[in-house]
Amino acid sequence: MKKDSIGILFDEQKNLGEEEEIFINLAKKKKISLVMLNVAKNINEKEIEEKIKNCKIIFNNTAENIGTEIAKTLEILGKKVIEPPETYYFIEDKWMFFIKCRNNKIPVPETILLPENLEIAKKELKKFAKWPVILKRVYGTWGEYVEKADNLNQAEKIIRKFWKKGSERLPIIAQEFIRSPSYRVTVIGKKIVQTAIKENIGWKATGIYGKKFKKFKVDSSLKKILKKINEICKMNIYGIDLLKKGNSWVVLEINAEPGLDFFKNERKKLIEEILKFLNKYKE
């Protein structure tokens, strides 16, 4: 194994998925040495340390919590990780991202952080008065722990459902509901590599709920927003989800480890861009 290998964290119950096969085949063509680390397997710390000892950089290509824990472990062991767990945790926290955007005058949906006391949370929702509201846990992927409430009674049921379903009571935010398709921009090394409009017949168009995808052009207004996000988030490989409020862009959230399969015919191209960036960044 070469001493300047690239490590890839992935999550597959089987050994390799389609995406991992593409990474391996493209790396071979480009003579890039890869170390594939499946976080779904039972690997102890010593095994991890041994596997990645020759890696110059690690790419966390899984949104699973165990992947983030392993990425943090590797960072403590002195490895360069994309994205660094500190950045990942701060930006993927939906409340922190909202505050960061608002303070930098990036347009975002109106949002409040709900207290853990249910009665006080209901009072805050009454004052917010943005029915319907979207309730979200501050951490979550694939649209999990995201529900729409049309009134206070529904909101209370959803909050109780989140508490019952999860193993812990993570903080919940309430966000104004904006009826819009979800617009995704994928960025690699500050370069816009893909756009996709995610449409669905229901209200939830993000994540696995978007069934139809088509491209859209990035206008000058959105370019300015994306430039600001690049400046404040300091991430390298990510997806931005946006909505349209009237004719104006609104930033919904940022995602490390963005999906690469919106357009099957472009998946290989995106993985090639990632490998190119990682190979250059490791130097």
Query: Over 80: is that where the pLDDT of 6 sits?
Result: yes
Domain of 22, CATH number, reads 3.40.50.20
Interval 243-272 mean pLDDT: 92
Written as six digits, the tokens of 252 are 């919904």
Domains in the chain, number: 3
Q: Which residue has the tokens 């409009």?
A: 197
| Boundary of a domain, candidates 160, 176, 192 | 176
Instruction: Mark whether 172 and 184 lie in a shared domain.
Output: no
Instruction: Mark whether 228 and 264 lie in a shared domain.
Output: yes
What is the pLDDT, as a whole number, of residue 49?
84
What is the pLDDT, as a whole number, of residue 90?
67
The answer as to whether 95 is a domain residue is no
pTM given for the model: 0.88
Residue 239 CB neighbours (<10 A): 19
Instruction: Mark whether 218 and 245 lie in a shared domain.
Output: yes
The answer as to whether 94 is a domain residue is no
d(CA 249, CA 222): 7
Instruction: Mark whether 9 and 65 lie in a shared domain.
Output: yes
The answer as to whether 229 is a domain residue is yes
Instruction: Mark whether 9 and 27 lie in a shared domain.
Output: yes
What is the pLDDT, as a whole number, of residue 204?
62
- pLDDT per position as a tens digit, 123-154: 999 999 999 999 999 987 667 789 999 999 99
Query: Over 90: is that where the pLDDT of 112 sits?
Result: yes
Instruction: Mark whether 126 and 43 lie in a shared domain.
Output: no
Q: Which residues form the domain of 48?
A: 5-82
- pLDDT per position as a tens digit, 160-188: 999 888 667 889 999 999 999 889 999 99
Domain of 193, CATH number, reads 3.30.470.20
| Residues 6 or more apart in contact with residue 236 via CB below 8 angstroms | 82, 83, 188, 189, 190, 277, 281
Domain of 118, CATH number, reads 3.30.1490.20
Instruction: Mark whether 198 and 153 lie in a shared domain.
Output: no
How far CA 24 is from CA of 8, 59, 264, 283, in Å, comes to 10, 14, 17, 20
Our CA dihedral for 198, 85, 267, 188, rounded to 10 degrees, sits at 90
| Boundary of a domain, candidates 82, 101, 129 | 82
Q: Please check whether residue 243 is in contact with residue 107, taking contact to mean a CB–CB distance below 8 angstroms.
A: no
What is the pLDDT, as a whole number, of residue 46?
82
**Residue 176: closest CA among 249, 93, 250, 92:** 250
